[in-house]
Amino acid sequence: MIVQEHNNSKLKFISSVPDNYSEKKEYGIIIMMHGYGASMHDLVSIAQVVNDKDFIYIFPNAPIEMNVGFYQKGYAWFPIETIDYNESSKLLEETIDQIIKTYKYNKIYIGGFSQGGMMALHSGLFSNRVYSGAIILSSKIIDNKNTKNRVNIPKETKIFVSHGRFDSIIGIEEGRKIKQTLDKQGFDLFYKEYDIGHEISTDVIHDLSNWLEKK
């Protein structure tokens, strides 16, 4: 895949497009957000193994810079003490506006890992933008006041949720709460628990790849 960094939008991001990418062809767009303390580089490698032909992947960089030790910089979508994601939501929306003007697309998915998955839920699925689906990896609901579907039609919105049974960062009960919340609203939900910790395993990638092929 062809990988490129973009610094001329509200949020920096990395795009990953198929090797035979054509501006005349429509693709699916998958927006994947990294977790707390990581960066836009963190999830780029999944594009090659999930589906390297039919999708354009966008990996935004969270706006809050932080020191993660050993003179390394990491980034966060919001401070974990406040859970105030509103500013990041605005920047994400403006970045997505720019992205959808750049590429021809036939569907768009919003997703993320850990804190990125929280953003995908509250700033994506429960926002005023219509998505084809959402990909929630090892995450949780952080704003119980913002779990109402606004514009997405549940039966037409596909959701992939994975969680590790041995996740010591975000416990498995949080994944089950996501399932319960989305089931109640009638979303087309794929939910699976894995014998892993706070991570994205090869089994998760395999299931995600198969799930996308069916959509």
As a three-state string, the secondary structure of the chain is: CEEEEECCCCCCEEEEECCCCCCCCCEEEEEEECCCCECCCCCCCHHHHHCCCCEEEEEECCCEEEEEECCEEEEECCCCCCCCCHHHHHHHHHHHHHHHHHCCEEEEEEEEECHHHHHHHHHHHCCCCCCCEEEEECCCCCCCCCCCCCCCCHHHCEEEEEEECCCCCCCHHHHHHHHHHHHHCCCEEEEEEECCCCCCCHHHHHHHHHHHHHC
**What per-residue confidence (pLDDT) applies to 8?**
81
* Residue range 34-48, pLDDT digits in tens: 999 999 999 999 999
How far is it, in rounded angstroms, from Cα 23 to Cα 14? 18
pLDDT of residue 215: 62
Tell me what pLDDT residue 67 has.
Answer: 85
The candidate with the shortest Cα–Cα distance to 156, out of 107, 121, 103, is 107
pLDDT tens, residue by residue, 141-163: 988 777 777 788 788 899 999 99
d(CA 111, CA 161): 10
Encoded tokens for 11: 């949020």
Cα–Cα distance measured from residue 132 to residue 137, given in angstroms and rounded to the nearest whole number: 17
pLDDT at 150: 73
> For the chain, which domains are there?
2-214 (3.40.50.1820)
Residue ranges of the chain with pLDDT lower than 70? 215
